[in-house]
Every structure is written in structure tokens, then in C-alpha cells.
Chain A
Amino acid sequence: MYIYLPIAEVSMNIFAIVGLGGMVGFLSGLFGVGGGFLMTPLLIFLGIPAAVAVSTEANQIVASSVSGVIAHWRRKNVDFMMGFVLLIGGIIGSSFGVWLFAFLKTIGQIELVIRLAYVVFLGLIGFLMAWESTKAILKSRTPGASRGKLHQHNWLHGLPFKIRFRRSKLYISALLPLFIGAFVGVLSAIMGVGGGFIIVPAMIYVLGMPTAVVVGTSLFQIIFVTANVTFLQSITTQTVDVVLAGLLMLGGVIGAQIGSNASSLLRGEQLRGLLALLVLAVCFKLFMDLTLTPTDIFSLDIIR
């Protein structure tokens, strides 16, 4: 059964879209990842124009982050002060990102930049996840682990404009989360991701936040950043396809529930290793597209 997507202006199999949403939703429920970094390239492989894939995925992430943050909110695992500082940075960064996106689109380099960004970041997280899961598998065989300090202090903690973040038990410069938020905001606009895969490690390793509040807080700020991207893309490039987003949300919601239920039944490390392989495979495909000699060095773009 085919459906004509009004903004993407392509005809797609409805089950393929809902199925894709479900599959990525399943993975995000299973691993607690956002899934945008898998969804956007897969949409591009399916034949959705890259610009539409990025903007529409930002819209879908609003939905998945809202449903995610509610669960964390109930458990009081959201540091609103930290989230607020992050989202101010995020809104500045994503606004710049949308502008950059429109600029790259006019000079015909947007596809290249999206692909390059994906190759770099998918390669990075794929490698880190593979590394971590092998380490975890090895560790599970050798018992005994040491406990460290709450967090380490370094030069980053000497920056000015210090604020107390009560939920995170931190007293650090507001510039740090502001900068992290801005950086992830730019990526969010260009790659169509929430940016959880960067912001979560940054919160743990750079800011030194307790892991319990990290996911809830990042989801909280992702809602606002992706909503900002959705809004700005709607008014500048008109590339948000609500029909596509709605179908992805439908699949994603169901998939995420099955995934989060399944996560208690399955072994974590092996699955994380599998996800790492999947991420690396997508990265490899994008990398080959950039480096292999194309069959035709000319390509075309019809301007509406």
C-alpha cells in the first residue's frame, strides 16, 4: 500500500515507513538511545530527500523525547536547571545550524555535509560502543571492580559564571553546559538527531553529572532543541513532512515499548555489540558512497 508524502513528494510503501519507525523504535527502547542517528540515514537510503529526512526526523524526536521524559520526570530524574542552561545553548546552536543548513543547500553541498557528519559521528560512536561492549563482556568474566570519586576536577571547573545545579550536586560554570548545548544544537539541525549520543557522554565525562539524572535531563533539553529545529526548518526550508513524521511516530512508539520490555529479557552486552555493528555498517555504507568512484560524476537537482 503506497502513500504519497506531500512534502517529500515521493510515493512510499506505508508499511516500510511504519516498519522502519518500529525497528528503530525497538532499538531505542532496548538501548535507551534516541535512534535519530540511525533513522535519518535509513530514510535517505529509502529515497527520501536528505533535507526532508533531517527536518522530519527532528519532528519525530520531539515526540519520542516527550514520551521518554515523562517517565524520567515521574522518578524525579530531570535536572531542570541544567536542562535550562543546556537548552539555551541548544537553541542558539540549532538556530545557527538551520541557517547553515539553508546556506549549504543553496550552494549544493548539504548532502555532502550530512553524509560527512554521519560518517564521522557514526564511526565514532560505533567504535566506542563496540569497544565498551567488548570490555563489558570481558569484565563480566573477571569479577571485582573499584569505586572512584564522584567526579574529577580539572581546568574546566575553573571557568567563570558558576551556578549551583542541585539535582546534579554540581557547582560549575554555566559556560560549559551552554557550549555543549550549542555544539549539539548545530549537529541536531544538520544531522536530524537529538544528539543524545554526544550530550550523554559529555554530561558524564565533561560535566561530571550523576548518571541517574543524565538521560532525563538530556531528553528534556532535546525536546526544546528539536522543536526549535522543526519550527525553523518549517519556516525557512519547508522540509518538515508531517505525514512522514506521523507514520514514523506510530511505528516508533510501538517499537519502543516492545524494545523496553525486551531489554529486561535479553543480555545487554551482546546486544550492544550488535547495535555497534549495525551503526558501523551504516557508517561504512555512507563512507563508501563518498569515496568510491561514482558511476556518473554528474548529478542533477531540479529546483521547484
Chain B
Amino acid sequence: MIKYYIFFLIIIFPNYGFSKSIVADLSSDSISINTGFNGAELLLFGSFDGLEGDDLVISVEGPKADTIIYKKEYVSGIWINRENVTFNNVPSFYYTVYSNTKMSLENLELLKREKIGTANLELKTIKKLRLENLNVWRNSLDRRMRKKGIWVLSKGVGSESIEIKNNKLFRAPVVLPATVLPGEYKVSILHLRNGKIISKENTKISVQKTGLEAKIYNFAHEYSILYGIFAILLAICAGYIAAFSFRKI
């Protein structure tokens, strides 16, 4: 009941009380990885009450997974993975948008405190490393993730990053590549001014394997013995059919 009441107030008095809040929504909040899946493009849109020079920061953080970084060394003529470092709970996808190309120092400090953006993630390693050594590995992680297109930072307004109208309305496309892991994607929108959060909104996208794709994946992992037998039988049938359908008369 109270929910409807608040909703009613927002509609009737958009410039009172709630005017400082961001209101945001996604064009779709659930994505299905099915047979035809080749990435997805969503639209994050909403309103806020901004002034000239304010910053909007959007972040989309994917499910976490342990990630190993290997370092190659030149050993007797070939490049071989030698040392490696495992980072725990690394977001498998991280998309950040800054509405301004040059953000103020206070606002950047704030993002650091709020741990927003890949540079501000606190990542732990299994092995204990010296700080300067850790930084080398940490930077490599950043570089490889960006290279793979799964950690993305875009700055400034534009149709590719974020569009803002009259400091009131915003719309930002969120592109999930075809390699995304299933799980929950946390979306947060921050409205910053002079090193302070004016308002904040969180939402989420859920990415799931559905249909035949999900069934096959679960079959392979939960009933792997049956799956193996099924794969072999499939191959034997295919070979048998092939041999007889093309039999020369």
C-alpha cells in the first residue's frame, strides 16, 4: 500500500521531496542465453535532478570468478607460461560510464571510497606478494580484461556511452558481449556533485541460460556419465546413417 502511495507522490509532485532522487529503469532486466544468443544490448534510462557540471557514474558489475594471470617466459626458443597469480572473486564483467571526460578530483576520490570502477576494486590473491610485484600483476589483469572487452570504461557523453538531456533525463546503452557468464549483474547509478553523492539508484540484470542450451549444460555437468554415453551413441548413429544413406548401389 505504501509503495503505491510513494509512487503516486512521485507522479503528482515530481519536483518536490523526491526530486533529488534518480529514477532509473532497464529496457529489460533479464537476459536469456539461448541458442541464438550473441550478446545483448540493453538500455538504461531514467531521470535525475542535475546541474551543469554534475557527474553521473554508471557501473555494471558481473558475477565474480577466480581469475589466473599467467606470465610467459622465453625458454629454449619458445614462450612458456611460467609464473602465475590467482586473483579471487574478480568481476567477470565490469562496465563503467563517466558522463564527463574530466571528472573532478573530489568525485574521483569518492569513487575510490565507494569502490566503484575496476581501478578501485580490492582484489585479493592466494599467494602473498610484495606490493610493487602485486601492482605488476594487478595492472596485467586490468589490461587483459580490457583487451578482452569485458572490463570497459567509457567517458564523456555520446550515443555509445551516455546521453543527457537538460540535466534531467539520461539514457545509456549497456552492451553485454556473447562471452558473458550467467548470473546477477549489479547496476548502480551515482549522481555526484563536489565530492558528494546527491543520489544513488541500484538495480540488477539477471542473465540465465535457458532452453536447450541450459539443458545440455546441466546434463553435461550433473549427469556426466549419461552425457558421455549419449555423445558416443549420437556419434555412432550419425556414422551409421551416413554410411547407409550414401551407400553406393
Contact = CB atoms under 8 A, between A and B. Distances in A.
Query: Are A and B interaction partners?
Result: yes
Interface of A: 2-4, 6-7, 9-11, 59-60, 62-68, 70-71, 108-109, 112, 116, 227, 230-235, 238, 240, 242-243, 245-246, 249-250, 253, 256-257, 290-291, 293-294, 296-304
Contacts of A62: 232, 235-236, 239
A66 B36 contact: no
Given A59-B235, A67-B243, A253-B242, A301 B77 contact: no
Nearest to B229: A231
A109 B65 CA distance: 20
B69 interface: yes
Contacts of A296: 140, 143-144, 147
A7 B221 CA distance: 10
A242 B243 contact: no
Contacts of A303: 65-68, 86
A299 B144 contact: yes
Contact of A11 (B37, B69, B77, B225): B37
Nearest to B230: A242
A242 to B, nearest CB: 5
A55 to B, nearest CB: 9
A296 B175 CA distance: 26
Contacts of B235: 59-60, 62-63, 66, 227, 230, 245, 249
Contact of A291 (B34, B79, B238, B246): B79
Secondary structure type dominating chain A contacts: helix
B179 interface: yes
B226 to A, nearest CB: 9
Contacts, number: 182
Interface in B75-89: 77-81, 84, 86
B227 interface: yes
Contact of B216 (A6, A116, A256): A6
A299 to B, nearest CB: 5
A193 to B, nearest CB: 15
Nearest to A5: B213
A230 B232 contact: yes
Nearest to B225: A235
A294 B38 contact: no
B181 interface: yes
A245 B231 CA distance: 9
Quick one: which of B227, B236, B242 has the most chain A CB within 10 A? Answer: B242
A6 B81 CA distance: 28
12 contacts: A6-B212, A6-B220, A10-B178, A11-B37, A62-B235, A70-B239, A116-B78, A230-B235, A234-B224, A240-B228, A249-B242, A300-B67
Contacts of A112: 80-81
B240 interface: yes
Nearest to B66: A303
B173 to A, nearest CB: 19
A303 B65 CA distance: 6
Contact of B234 (A11, A242, A257): A242
Contacts of A2: 36-38, 178
Contacts of B246: 253, 257
Contacts of B67: 300-303
